[in-house]
Structure 1
Amino acid sequence: MLKIWSMKQKQQQDEAATAGSKKKKVTAAQLRVQKDLADLSLGSTMKLSFPNPDDIMNFNFTIEPDEGIYKGGKFLFDFKINQNFPHEPPKVKCTQTLYHPNIDIEGNVCLNVLREDWKPVLNLNAVMVGLQFLFLEPNASDPLNKEAAEDLKINREGFKRNVRAAMGGGTVKGRTYDRVLK
């Protein structure tokens, strides 16, 4: 709360110092994002980066699972938050081509808190933990990549082999994937 207050005070001071020139106001969405970012509890397997340090509404998120099928990979996500946040969820895309039942080849992510289960009381931490969970426990019952989901359902060992091949930049079922191994 103190950060929000100090951000508002700085804005008022800037407005007083530059009276006459137009200065952008801090929006409710920006204040909420600032609070969510301040409250984050990222473990050692997750990192944030800001391509533009002045823009907290657009940032990158990296997951490096230390267990599970996707262990040893480095997965990058692009977060875009619009001015209707928290009434609308952030837009999240994976920037790599992955072999994953819940992430399609365009980078779209199938995660319930990014769709029908989003509520304004949820925060960015809930989304990030949900993304991390997708790498620990891929969900074959709610897929975007139906081939990967079928593999996971029918032949878990074959699915694991396909994931390893894809993570290494290999080809699975005629499609070449990005190398994501660290």
Structure 2
Amino acid sequence: MEESSNDDDTIGTMIRLFKVKEKQKENSLANGGRPPVKKQTAGELRLNKDIAELNLPQTCTIEFPNGKDDLMNFEVSVKPDEGYYRDGKFLFTFQVPPMYPHEPPKVFHPNIDLEGSVCLNVLREDWKPVLNINTIIYGLTHLFTEPNPEDPLNHEAAKLLRDNPYEFESNVRFAMEGGRVGNTWYARCIENPYD
């Protein structure tokens, strides 16, 4: 009796596999012989639109390290050409949530604060679904050209910027060259001008 039960299970499994393969074949034929296309979420559709409409400043580039199949995770490089941070190269990692644009992207950078948080109001309380990736990128470039000591993540640096901008600039240069400021060591982010 047990053999009959095992045979029935094996036959049932084979029939289910056969039905799955038939369904895959039907789907393939319906797509003109191509594999089935993954359905995009509303967030992915909106992000595709945002990326197609990007108008990046000259100082920015965008890369998709996981390829075209993962547009929800990308990197933006900012190379300020003016201000305290000129000549530096800063890489930001974007993680776009499935609920985008109703939720803002998560943006990280190891040198913004020691945890990688970015202090940009459009990534927090001022986010609205009408905003887009371009808005965030322009906001990031603005952080480098016009740092705001009135809304800081690093209160000590903001106080120094307000009270002694020359010392602030010296600290920025030293940190960007790969030095220590206070108790914190910073990796070099100034690019070689001959690259």
TM-score surpassing 0.5?
A: yes
Pick one of 95, 119, 123 that aligns with 1:114. 123
What is the letter of the counterpart of residue 64 of structure 1? K
Q: CA RMSD in A?
A: 1.9
Q: How many residues align?
A: 163
Asked whether the equivalents of residues 68 and 136 of structure 1 are also in contact (C-alpha less than 8 Å), the reply is yes
Match of 1:123 in 2: 132
Residue 180 of structure 2 corresponds to residue 171 of structure 1: yes
Give, in whole Å, the separation in 2 of the partners of 1:28 and 1:109.
26
Change (3 A) 1:33 1:14: farther
Shift of 1:16: 2.9
Pick one of 47, 53, 71 that aligns with 1:33. 47
Shift of 1:23: 5.5
| Bigger proportion of residues as helix | 2
What is the letter of the counterpart of residue 43 of structure 2? A
Give, in whole Å, the separation in 2 of the partners of 1:112 and 1:131.
10
Give, in whole Å, the separation in 2 of the partners of 1:15 and 1:50.
32
Give, in whole Å, the separation in 2 of the partners of 1:34 and 1:26.
10
List runs of 5+ in structure 2 lacking aligned partners.
Answer: 1-26
Give, in whole Å, the separation in 2 of the partners of 1:48 and 1:32.
17
Match of 1:42 in 2: 56
Residue 38 of structure 2 corresponds to residue 24 of structure 1: yes
Q: TM-score, normalised by structure 2?
A: 0.79
SS at match of 1:125: helix
SS at match of 1:62: strand
List runs of 5+ in structure 1 lacking aligned partners.
Answer: 1-12, 98-102
Shift of 1:22: 7.2
SS at match of 2:77: strand
Asked whether the equivalents of residues 28 and 36 of structure 2 are also in contact (C-alpha less than 8 Å), the reply is no
Higher-RCO chain (CA-CA 8 Å, sequence separation at least 6) = 1
Sequence identity, in percent? 53
Residue 91 of structure 2 corresponds to residue 76 of structure 1: yes
Residue 88 of structure 2 corresponds to residue 67 of structure 1: no
Asked whether the equivalents of residues 15 and 23 of structure 1 are also in contact (C-alpha less than 8 Å), the reply is no
Q: TM-score, normalised by structure 1?
A: 0.84
